Amino acid sequence: MEKLNIVKIGGNIVENETALSAFTNVFANLKGKKILVHGGGKIASKLASDLGIEAKMVNGRRITDLETLKIVTMVYAGLTNKSIVALLQANHCDAIGLSGADGNTIRTIKRPVKEIDYGFAGDMTPTSIHNKRIQSLLELGLCPVFSAITHNGEGQLLNTNADTIASALAVGLASNYDISLIYCFEKRGVLKDIEDEGSVITQINRTHYSMLKEQGIIADGMIPKLDNAFDAISKGVKKVIIKHANDLTDEQAGTTIF
């Protein structure tokens, strides 16, 4: 099967003009078929605050009310997505910016209201990813660039976690491609010692992961990231890599989950 790299970048790159410019240059040089998924960052929060719209949080999670949905659609699918695409085009990477509504590429369902009403948050289903459509775009030589906005197929845009989009894309396309799912990160990988960038754990399998969790070496925010990674592996994704954005084209760098 042909290789496909799916790369996710976070707010730390997106909101910093210098970092974004450097990243797009490196990403453009990544060989073969590829997809980019980008998170949001503080531009949306800043815009909301400039407009006097308060961020609504419940249990540390953002609630997407209608005003917030408009803001994230403007920033993620508009300003951020198009800025990235223009920079990639300047680096001779034939990028095409997409929300999940575009070409019906990612169709989600509005998160059901249980204890908390998350508002306009979109959750993945097993059939969310329109893999044939995305494959057609890749076959045209295009590099899809996904913002974290999806739709429900009934006219409603929905806000969706970018990490989740990246892993759903990887799983959804795993029957078509030999996939490496790469999460770019502010560290050089998963670290044995969080204070030491030299302590990258180069490989983690499921047994190793349980051990590292028991020992408290992997904790906090890293756990959902790795759970997500192993979930993708169990669903056919060949490998998941966590690395620094600057190391994107260095195949030895970062932590490989398999």
The three-state secondary structure class of 120 is coil
61 is in an annotated binding site: no
| Residue 164: CB minimum distance to a copy of itself, A | 19
Gap between the Cα atoms of 258 and 64, Å rounded: 34
- DSSP codes of every residue in 53-88: PPPEEETTEEEB-HHHHHHHIIIIIIIIHHHHHHHH
**CB atoms < 10 A from the CB of 100, how many?**
29
Q: Which stretch binds a copy of itself (CB under 8 A): 2-10, 44-52, 184-192, 231-239?
A: 44-52
**Residue 18 binds a copy of itself (CB under 8 A):** no
Nearer to a copy of itself, 83 or 256 (CB): 83
Cβ closer to a copy of itself: 25 or 246?
25
Helices (H), 103-176: 131-139, 162-172
State yes or no: residue 13 binds a copy of itself (CB under 8 A).
no
Q: Mask: binding to a copy of itself, 161-180, rule CB under 8 A, as x and -?
A: --------------------
The strand pairing partners of 64, in sequence order, are 119
Task: Read off the tokens for 165.
Answer: 């989009």
Structure tokens at 125: 């289903």
The string over 1-40, giving b where at least 16 C-beta atoms fall within 10 Å of a residue's C-beta and e elsewhere, is eeebbbbbbbbbbbbeeeebeebbebbbebeebbbbbbbb
Task: Verify binding: residue 154, a copy of itself, rule CB under 8 A.
Answer: yes
45 binds a copy of itself (CB under 8 A): no
192-221 residues near a copy of itself, rule: CB under 8 A:
none
Note the Cα 248 to chain centre separation in Å.
15
Asked whether residue 41 is marked as a ligand-binding residue, the answer is yes
Q: How far is the CB of 47 from a copy of itself (least distance, A)?
A: 8
Distance, CA of 151 to CA of 68 (rounded, Å): 15
- Of 2-10, 73-81, 167-175, 214-222, which segment contacts a copy of itself by CB under 8 A? 73-81
Element (H, E) at 212: helix 206-214
Is residue 131 close enough to count as binding a copy of itself by CB under 8 A?
no
Q: Considering the rule CB under 8 A, would residue 98 count as an interface residue with a copy of itself?
A: yes
Cα radius of gyration rounded to whole Å, the chain: 18
Among 58, 90, 194, 211, interactor with a copy of itself by CB under 8 A: 90
- Binding site, annotated residues for substrate: 40-41, 62, 159
Applying CB under 8 A, the residues found at the interface with a copy of itself are: 21, 47, 50-51, 70, 73-79, 81-83, 85-87, 89-90, 94-99, 101-104, 133, 136-137, 140, 142, 149, 151, 153-157
